[in-house]
């Protein structure tokens, strides 16, 4: 007779309460020999220490990949990854790419037609056809 | 649901650094194990051990250039014989320090403690190296803050619904989702050689897993066997206060449900679907995790390990940073999640219950009145019914039949009663916890400071 309960699980909303950066790891691959890695090698030597120190929440790995183009791969909390080939790029161009990886959510890119999505209840309530004065015909 | 916090007792042992001695069964087991294999490095759960900087020669004998190809991490001999990584290796783990920064933890929390929160009891049964004590501490703190929040913000929630709300907000399932939203990766198998930044739990030997927290009565088996009645309060006080969510097949009501109840379940399913959809587009839980496949038992073990990790992190925040920091951490990560309480109600006889409520509150008996209707003889009729007590409208519902509309109106009226809230900015008891002594001291012991409740409900309408 008393009220029974159904079960539901709370939904998380990143940024409400705490914000978790979605990029958790960035892999940097370079080649010592190939010319396409020149910018990447310069980036690793000059800009990466500062960038990595500014983003302690991202794990950085640097590893050689001989005779291949340099790549930066971002790994995300949702399990996806985002590889960007940075061949023949200047160090500052690579920095831009890393900032892109950092800011990405890891989701597939899709066109956003409705910029605001929310799971909050509508403040105005749902429109009801059974209320108000109705339409006069 | 508000259990008393006995945190000093639970936190004390964490702050005392001690080598593993044979004081507990697990430790005794470990020490006997050490006697047989003398080469196993001795572990100390000290959180201040510094990493030994090893000098590596620039060139190996075989001509490998170490500047270009750094050598692999040198582990102490026989590390893989240990059940969990050595605490000293926590300082070298990039994953661990990234997790520390991702959660914006205070620098007061050492990496060794964070590494310990990632070791489940099923991976390492030694209580000085696994997270069970921290998880117990964290569970009490999370449950306390969640229950005080619900009690102050929704003072009229019935016990069953309150329990469902607690399970939905602070139970194992939501905590598991929180851990996954933090980007926790499980190790393929626990061991001394794995990266300390990975969550370690064993699916092979779940016998050592902590089944739940709290004291279990010896009569529980008998109660379950004979199907005796017991109240939610008794279960919360005497047994595990937050059981895991029942599986979806169990949650489905088999009794002839009222119209809205069915509708609620459909909505619930839709919500689940939409949650999956939401997870795809939002930074919620990952779509595929290494443990998402497997049997229901392994999934349950994984969920338990992830939940215990989150609890242990809260316990670590409390132990190293104190009460206020732990409270704000729980608020930011657990209480900020959205849970629609309206969806948790399942009424069996809403009209009868509303009549009893009106009788108790000395309102006029509820009367259902037809407010408007359309298409009575058509295929899709709609009736709008309002429930009135005297001249006051208590609730209103629209349905395809008069009966359905009446029941919906009664349910809306009951929900409006049960979900009464004094407002958003109401103080909870822990808000004034520190002020109590200060105010009393400032007033010279004359003024009695402390928490004053905004509203206390006289109790549930129909109790069993």
According to the per-residue pLDDT averaged within each range, which of B206-220, B373-387, B444-458 is highest? B373-387
Q: Which residues contact A36 (CB under 8 A, 6 or more apart)?
A: A69, A70, A87, A88
The average confidence (pLDDT) of chain B is: 76
Whether B22 shows a pLDDT value over 70: the answer reads no
Give the three-state DSSP class for A45. Answer: helix
Report yes or no on A41 lying in a domain. yes
Fold of B347-464: Double Stranded RNA Binding Domain (3.30.160)
Contacting B with CB below 8 Å, chain A residues are 1-14, 16-18, 20-22, 24-25, 32, 56-61, 64, 77-79, 105-107, 110, 117, 119-121, 128, 130
Report yes or no on A114 lying in a domain. no
Q: What residue in B sits closest to A133 (Cα-Cα)?
A: B372
Cβ of B287 within 8 Å of Cβ of A5? The answer is: no
DSSP state for residue B340 in the 8-state scheme: -
Q: How far apart are CA A60 and CA B215, in angstroms?
A: 45
Number of domains in chain A: 1
Whether B222 shows a pLDDT value over 90: the answer reads no
Containing B372, the helix (H) or strand (E) segment is strand B366-374
pTM score, whole prediction: 0.80
Report yes or no on A92 lying in a domain. yes
Looking at this predicted complex, what is its ipTM?
A: 0.92
Chain B residues inside the 8 Å CB shell of A5: 158, 160-161, 163-165, 344-346
Containing B141, the helix (H) or strand (E) segment is helix B132-153
Considering Cα of A99, then A103, then A106, then A107, what sign does the dihedral take?
negative
Q: How far apart are CA B76 and CA B78, in angstroms?
A: 6
CATH 3.30.160.20: which residues of chain B? 347-464
Containing B113, the helix (H) or strand (E) segment is helix B111-117
Report yes or no on A3 lying in a domain. no
Cβ of A57 within 8 Å of Cβ of B98? The answer is: yes
* Residue span of the structural domain in which A50 resides: 23-65+79-103
Chain A residues inside the 8 Å CB shell of B354: none
Containing B12, the helix (H) or strand (E) segment is helix B7-15
Find the range with the poorest average confidence among A107-121, B52-66, B143-157, B345-359: B52-66
B367: which strand partners? Answer: B388
Report yes or no on A121 lying in a domain. no
Whether the CB-CB separation of B149 and B129 falls below 8 Å is answered with no
Beginning with the edge strand found earlier in the chain, give each strand of the sheet holding B382-389 in spatial order: B366-374, B382-389, B392-399
Cβ of A7 within 8 Å of Cβ of B344? The answer is: yes
**Which of B162, B175, B338 is most worth mutating to test chain A (most A CB atoms within 10 A of its CB)?**
B338
From the list B178, B340, B414, the residue facing A12 with the nearest CB is B178
Fold of B7-42+73-245+291-343: Ribonuclease iii, N-terminal Endonuclease Domain; Chain A (1.10.1520)
CATH 1.10.1520.10: which residues of chain B? 7-42+73-245+291-343
Q: What residue in B sits closest to A6 (Cα-Cα)?
A: B344
The per-residue pLDDT for range A17-54, each reduced to its tens digit, is 999 999 999 999 999 998 999 999 999 999 999 999 99
Cβ of B102 within 8 Å of Cβ of A61? The answer is: no
Chain A residues inside the 8 Å CB shell of B104: 18
Cβ of B337 within 8 Å of Cβ of A61? The answer is: no
Q: Supply the CATH number for residue A49's domain.
A: 3.40.30.10
> What pLDDT score was predicted for residue B79?
82
């Amino acid at each position: 007779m008393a009220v029974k309960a159904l079960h539901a699980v709370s939904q998380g909303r990143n940024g409400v309460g705490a914000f978790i950066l979605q990029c958790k790891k960035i892999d940097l691959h370079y080649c010592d020999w190939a010319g396409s890695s020149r910018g990447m090698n310069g980036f690793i030597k000059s800009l990466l220490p500062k960038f990595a120190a500014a983003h302690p929440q991202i794990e950085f790995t640097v590893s050689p990949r001989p005779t291949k183009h340099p790549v930066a791969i971002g790994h995300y909390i949702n399990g996806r990854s985002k590889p960007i080939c940075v061949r023949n790029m200047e160090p500052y161009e690579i920095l831009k790419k890393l900032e892109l990886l950092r800011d990405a959510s890891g989701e597939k890119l899709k066109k956003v037609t409705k910029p605001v999505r929310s799971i909050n209840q509508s403040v105005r309530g749902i429109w009801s056809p059974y209320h108000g004065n109705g339409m006069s015909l | 649901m508000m259990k008393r916090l006995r945190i000093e007792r639970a936190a004390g042992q964490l702050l005392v650094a001690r080598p593993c001695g044979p004081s507990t069964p697990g430790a005794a087991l470990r020490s006997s194990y050490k006697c047989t294999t003398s080469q196993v490095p001795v572990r100390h759960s000290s959180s201040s051990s510094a990493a030994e900087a090893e000098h590596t020669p620039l060139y190996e004998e075989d001509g490998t250039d170490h500047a270009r190809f750094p050598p692999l991490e040198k582990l102490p001999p026989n590390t893989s014989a240990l059940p969990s990584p050595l605490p000293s290796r926590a300082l070298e783990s990039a994953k661990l320090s990234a997790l520390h920064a991702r959660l914006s933890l205070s620098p007061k929390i050492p990496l060794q403690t964070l590494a310990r929160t990632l070791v489940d009891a099923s991976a390492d049964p030694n209580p000085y190296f696994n997270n069970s004590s921290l998880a117990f501490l964290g569970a009490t703190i999370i449950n306390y803050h969640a229950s005080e929040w619900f009690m102050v913000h929704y003072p009229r929630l019935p016990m069953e619904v309150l329990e469902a709300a607690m399970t939905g907000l602070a139970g194992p399932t939501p905590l598991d989702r929180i851990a996954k939203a933090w980007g926790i990766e499980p190790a393929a198998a626990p061991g001394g050689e794995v990266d300390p930044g990975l969550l370690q739990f064993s699916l092979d030997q779940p016998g050592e897993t902590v089944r739940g927290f709290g004291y279990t009565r010896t009569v529980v088996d008998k109660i379950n066997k004979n199907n005796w009645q017991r109240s939610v309060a008794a279960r919360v006080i005497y047994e595990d206060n937050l059981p895991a969510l029942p599986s979806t097949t169990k949650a489905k009501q088999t009794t002839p449900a009222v119209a809205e109840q069915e509708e609620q379940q459909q909505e619930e399913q839709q919500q689940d679907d939409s949650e999956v959809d939401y997870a795809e587009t939002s930074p919620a839980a990952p779509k595929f995790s290494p443990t998402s496949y497997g049997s229901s038992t392994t999934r349950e073990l994984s969920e338990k390990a992830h939940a215990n990790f989150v609890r242990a992190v809260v316990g670590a925040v409390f132990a190293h940073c104190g009460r206020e920091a732990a409270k704000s951490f729980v608020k930011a990560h657990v209480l900020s999640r959205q849970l629609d309480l309206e969806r948790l109600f399942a009424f069996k006889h809403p009209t009868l219950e509303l009549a009893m409520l009106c009788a108790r509150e000395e309102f006029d008996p509820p009367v259902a009145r037809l407010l408007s209707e359309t298409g009575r003889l058509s295929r899709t009729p709609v009736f709008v019914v309002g429930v009135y007590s005297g001249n006051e409208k208590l609730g209103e519902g629209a349905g395809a039949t008069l009966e359905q509309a009446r029941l919906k109106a009664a349910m809306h009226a009951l929900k409006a009663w049960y979900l009464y809230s004094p407002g958003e900015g109401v103080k909870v008891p822990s808000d004034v916890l520190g002020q109590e002594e200060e105010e009393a001291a400032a007033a010279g012991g004359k003024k009695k400071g402390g928490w004053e409740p905004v509203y206390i409900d006289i109790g549930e309408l129909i109790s069993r």
